[in-house]
């Protein structure tokens, strides 16, 4: 490298061993992002755990108060509340309905779309639009469709549930699960569509030579071929379900009827911000995240295969 | 046999499209009805029941213009921060050799799996109580300022540029800033559009965070003011569904139109790979 000395074409940083690497400018370019990640993710993450283990309450800015360490007391307070237990059960119901429907329908639609000849672009747009639209906007039309005298019940006629969907304590949570399945489906269809491009065509040809029909091909070639995408779909839909807030807040008017559609995040808002117990709310958040991590690990273990 | 399969596939795809699009059609129809008509006939436009009054009614209650303006400022703030700072990191991660690069990339991936629900309470405490940023655009923008998915998209596009390009320009004495601005950026223009669209959807549709920190109606983004109308006020309007549907159309339209115009930039493989990292 030293032989280049004196020529006008020197790339200066290349020879010196800098403390920050060859292009310390990289660190400068990344500094705003690193500060952002520290301030908005890393620090609050630690702070959330701190709040969960201390007697934390809101004070005026600058006020000095003691916030003693209380061990697991916040967790005990939160999880002896039947509403909290119920909200976790509700997410369970949500996931049992949402996750299988999501995987099945998005894979079927994606593989149909993958082989479609006509209107491919149109279908892609059609499927993706609900995912792009704000929940708040779509909630407005679902309230119209699913209220007591709404179009859905008009079509069902005598089969319409009574009380209607969103005010029926055994149907409120399933209705929310269906809403979210419908809304998020486009995203998963696109994920599967991308994954299907990586399934080699020869496998389909080989299966056809072996006399496999369309259904056999789907289960023996397509399903194993998109397995990494399925793991991702499982993970993302579980995380989305755990994050549920807007739908129970608006669609069922704050988790109604009688708490049958509350979600943990909705309770975190009610307890933490409305009722001023951020410590209990944080404890709920910590437990929720741990549960999601466990579910994600299990999914990866059992659906992920060896790769 | 094959014809039967093709027919079946078309039928399934068409049914899917109807299921996904009908609520949007119904949203528009419902927003134009003078008197709400939930019957089967109400799903078709009826000239004697058509009106624009719902749009005026919702505008009376929540001031659509200020809602759109607040949503616009919130979204623009996030977009600008993401495009400026996100491009810088993306470039540093793909092109420059520096200590800490691996860690920074790992952070950008990790951030995407940090669940927002765990951050709600501490962010609320920090931003509203400690920094006094409630009812403030900065407070709205801060948690979303730099979209990590966009950072990953930028990195991937910069990685695809040939290394020789940068070496040649460096030998010609171009500074890194000049390289980025004059050479790299023009070549990754599609990435800018893709990332801008991805980023736009987040804050425009976001409900929970701005809902938590804006109590002043004049500061609320449209998603928040429409939600508070739906949950509190709707019952006191003459045609409550009509008005909330009109608000929904106004909230949904910008995103849907942007998507239709720029849909070729929403390439499925991009999206998949950006999520997978």
Count of beta carbons in the 10 Å neighbourhood of residue A223 = 15
- pLDDT at position A254 is 85
Q: Residue A210: which domain range? A: 76-303
pLDDT in the model for residue A14: 47
The answer on A219 and A135 residing in a single domain is yes
pLDDT of A306 reads: 52
Residue A107 placed within a domain: yes
DSSP label at B99?
Answer: T
Q: Are B40 and B159 members of one domain?
A: no
Are B77 and B143 in contact, with CB atoms under 8 Å apart? no
Contact status of B126 with chain A (Cβ, < 8 Å): yes
Q: How confident is the model at residue B273 (pLDDT cuts 50, 70, 90)?
A: very low
Closest-CA residue of B relative to A235 is B113
**B-chain residue closest to A10, CA distance:** B171
The neighbour count for residue B269, using CB atoms within 10 Å, is: 13
- Among A11, A45, A73, which residue terminates a domain? A73
Q: Are residues B47 and B67 located together in one domain of the fold?
A: no
pLDDT of amino acid A95:
94
Q: Tell whether B44 and B71 lie within a shared domain.
A: no
Whether residues B104 and B216 share a domain: the answer is yes
Q: Which of residues 195-224 of B touch A (CB under 8 A)?
A: 201, 204-205, 207-208, 212, 223
The three-state secondary structure class of B216 is coil
Instruction: Answer whether residue B256 is part of any domain.
Output: yes
The answer to whether the Cβ–Cβ distance between B23 and A232 falls below 8 Å is no
Residue of A25, A145, A203, A168 whose CA lies nearest to B97: A25
Whether residue B259 is contained in a domain is answered as: yes
Expressed as residue numbers, the domain containing B32 is 1-51
How many domains is chain A partitioned into structurally?
2
Coil/strand/helix, residue B12: helix
Partner-chain contact A125 B259, CB within 8 Å: yes
Residues of B in contact with A186 (CB under 8 A): 20
Which pLDDT tens digit goes with each residue over B119-151?
989 999 999 888 889 999 999 999 999 999 899
| Mean of the per-residue pLDDT values of chain B | 87
Kindly report the three-state secondary structure assignment for every residue of chain A: CHHHCCCCCCCHHHCCCCCCCCCCHHHHHHHHHHHHHHHHHHHHHHHHHHHHCECCCCCCCCCCCCCCECCCHHHHHHHCCHHHHHHHHHHHHHHHHHHHHHHHHHHHHHHHHHHCCCCHHHHHHHHHHHHHCCHHHHHHHHHHHHCCCCHHHHHHHHHCCCCCHHHCCCCHHHHHHHHHHHHHHHHHHHHHHHHHCCCCHHHHHHHHHCCCCHHHHHHHHHHHHCHHHHHHHHHHHHHHHHCCCHHHHHCCCCCCCCCCCCCHHHHHHHHHHHCCCHHHHHHHHHHHHHHHHHHHHHHHHHHCCCC
User: Are A109 and B13 an interchain contact pair (Cβ–Cβ within 8 Å)?
Assistant: yes
Whether residues A123 and B17 touch (CB distance < 8 A) is answered with: yes
- Asked whether residue B262 is assigned to any structural domain, the reply reads yes
Position A7 in a domain: no
Residue listed under structure tokens 């078709």: B44
pLDDT confidence band for B268 (50 / 70 / 90): very low
In chain B, residues with a C-beta closer than 8 Å to the C-beta of A185 are: 20
Answer yes or no: do A51 and B129 touch at CB < 8 A. no
A-interface mutation test, from B36, B222, B266, B268, most A Cβ less than 10 A away = B268
Q: Do B226 and A136 touch (CB under 8 A)?
A: yes
**CATH label of the domain that carries residue B178:** 1.10.3720.10
- Considering the domain architecture, whether residues A222 and A248 belong to the same structural domain is answered as yes
Domain boundary among A73, A90, A109: A73
Are A168 and A27 in the same domain? no
Q: Write down the pLDDT at residue B44.
A: 84
Answer yes or no: do A59 and A92 share one domain: no
Q: What is the pLDDT of residue B183?
A: 87
Between B13, B36, B99, which is nearest A123 by CB? B13
User: Do A94 and A193 share a domain, yes or no?
Assistant: yes
Within this chain, do residues B67 and B43 fall inside the same structural domain, yes or no?
Answer: no
The minimal CB distance from B20 to the residues A11, A34, A130 is found for A130
Q: Which chain A residues are Cβ-neighbours of B256 within 8 angstroms?
A: 129, 132-133
DSSP code of residue B235: G
Boundary of a domain, candidates A58, A73, A88: A73
Q: How far is Cα A14 from Cα B103, in angstroms, rounded to an integer? A: 22
What residue has token string 């070549």? B187
Same domain, A243 and A273: yes
A182 and A35 in a common domain = no
Residues of chain A with Cβ-Cβ distance to B113 below 8 Å are: 239
Q: What is the pLDDT of residues B38-64, one digit of tens each?
A: 888 888 888 888 888 889 988 988 889
Residues of chain A found within 8 Å of residue B16, distances taken between Cβ atoms = 109, 112, 123, 126-127
A154 and A55 share one domain: no
For residue B239, the 8-state DSSP code is S
Are A30 and A107 members of one domain?
no
Q: In which region does residue B146 sit, left (phi positive, over 0), alpha (psi from -120 to 50) or beta (all else)? A: beta
User: Cα A191 to chain center, whole Å?
Assistant: 14
Whether residue B262 sits in one domain with residue B126: yes
Which residues in chain A come in under a pLDDT of 50?
1-15, 307
Q: How close, in Å, is residue A37 to chain B by CA atoms?
A: 8
- Total domains in chain B come to 2
Compute the distance between CA of residue A139 and CA of residue B245 in angstroms, rounded to an integer: 9
Q: According to the model, what pLDDT value does residue B251 have?
A: 96
Q: Is B217 found in the same domain as B136?
A: yes
**pLDDT above 70: percentage of residues in chain B:** 93
Kindly state whether residue B56 falls inside one of the protein's structural domains: no
Predicted confidence (pLDDT) at residue B277 exceeds the cutoff of 50: no
Q: With CB atoms and an 8 Å threshold, state whether A140 touches B263.
A: no
Task: For residues A62 and A180, state if they share a domain.
Answer: no
Q: Are residues B162 and B229 in the same domain?
A: yes
Contacts of B255 in chain A (CB under 8 A): 132-134
pLDDT at B235: 60
| B41 and B116 share one domain | no
C-alpha dihedral, A86 to A88 to A90 to A92, nearest 10°: -140
Q: Are residues B44 and B69 in the same domain?
A: no
Q: How far is Cα B250 from Cα B271, in angstroms, rounded to an integer? A: 27
| Cβ–Cβ under 8 Å, residues B126 and B138 | no
* A4 domain-assigned: no
Q: Give yes or no for a contact between B264 and A166, defined as CB atoms under 8 angstroms apart.
A: no
Note whether A97 and A218 are same-domain residues.
Answer: yes
| Spatial separation of the C-alpha atoms in residues B133 and B135, rounded to whole Å | 6
Q: What is the reported pLDDT for A269?
A: 93
- Domain match, B31 and B158 both: no
Residue A67 and residue A142 share a domain = no
């Amino acid at each position: 490298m030293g032989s280049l000395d004196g020529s006008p074409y020197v790339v200066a940083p290349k020879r010196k061993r800098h403390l920050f690497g060859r292009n310390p400018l990289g660190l400068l370019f990344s500094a705003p992002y690193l500060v952002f990640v520290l301030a908005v993710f890393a620090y609050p993450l630690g702070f959330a755990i701190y709040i969960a283990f201390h007697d934390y309450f809101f004070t005026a800015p600058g006020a000095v108060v003691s916030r003693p360490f209380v061990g697991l007391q916040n967790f005990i307070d939160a999880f002896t509340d039947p509403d909290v237990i119920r909200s976790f059960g509700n997410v369970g119901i949500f996931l049992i309905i949402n996750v299988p429907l999501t995987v099945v329908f998005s894979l079927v639609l994606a593989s149909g779309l993958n082989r479609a000849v006509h209107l491919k672009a149109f279908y892609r747009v059609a499927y993706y639009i609900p995912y792009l639209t704000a929940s708040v906007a779509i909630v407005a039309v679902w309230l119209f469709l699913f209220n007591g005298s709404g179009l859905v019940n008009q079509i069902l006629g005598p089969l319409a549930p009574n009380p209607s969907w969103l005010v029926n304590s055994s149907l409120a949570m399933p209705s929310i699960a269906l809403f979210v399945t419908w809304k998020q489906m486009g995203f998963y269809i696109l994920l599967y569509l991308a994954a299907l491009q990586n399934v080699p065509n020869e496998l389909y040809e080989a299966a056809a030579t072996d006399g496999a029909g369309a259904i056999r091909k789907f289960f023996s070639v397509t399903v194993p071929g998109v397995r990494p995408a399925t793991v991702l779909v499982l993970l993302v839909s579980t995380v989305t379900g755990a994050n549920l807030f807007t739908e129970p807040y608006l669609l069922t008017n704050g988790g109604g009827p009688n708490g049958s559609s509350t979600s943990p995040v909705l309770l975190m808002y009610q307890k933490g911000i409305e009722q001023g117990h951020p410590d209990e709310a944080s404890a709920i958040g910590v437990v929720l995240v741990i549960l999601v991590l466990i579910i994600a690990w299990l999914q990866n273990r059992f659906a992920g295969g060896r790769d | 046999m094959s014809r039967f399969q093709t027919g079946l596939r078309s039928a399934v795809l068409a049914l899917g499209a109807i299921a996904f699009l009908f609520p949007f059609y119904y949203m528009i129809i419902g927003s134009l009805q003078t008197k709400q008509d939930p019957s089967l006939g109400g799903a078709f436009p009826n000239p004697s029941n058509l009106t624009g009054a719902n749009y005026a009614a919702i505008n009376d209650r929540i001031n659509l213009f200020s809602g759109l303006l607040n949503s616009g400022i919130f979204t623009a703030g996030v977009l600008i921060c993401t495009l400026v700072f996100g491009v810088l990191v993306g470039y540093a991660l793909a092109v420059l050799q520096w200590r800490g690069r691996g860690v920074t990339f790992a952070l950008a991936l990790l951030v995407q799996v940090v669940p927002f629900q765990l951050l709600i309470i501490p962010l609320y405490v920090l931003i509203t109580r400690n920094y006094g940023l409630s009812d403030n655009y900065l407070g709205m923008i801060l948690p979303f300022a730099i979209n990590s998915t966009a950072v990953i998209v930028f990195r991937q596009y910069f990685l695809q540029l040939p290394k020789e390009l940068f070496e040649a320009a460096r030998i010609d004495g171009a500074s890194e800033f000049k390289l980025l601005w004059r050479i790299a950026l023009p070549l990754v223009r599609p990435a800018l559009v893709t990332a801008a669209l991805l980023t736009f959807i987040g804050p425009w549709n976001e409900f929970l965070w701005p809902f938590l920190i804006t109590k002043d109606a004049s500061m609320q983004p449209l998603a928040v003011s429409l939600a508070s109308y739906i949950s509190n006020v709707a019952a006191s309007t003459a045609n409550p569904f009509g008005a909330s549907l009109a608000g929904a159309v106004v909230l949904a339209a910008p995103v849907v139109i942007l998507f239709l115009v720029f849909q070729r930039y929403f390439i499925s493989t991009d999206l998949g790979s950006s999520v997978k990292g």
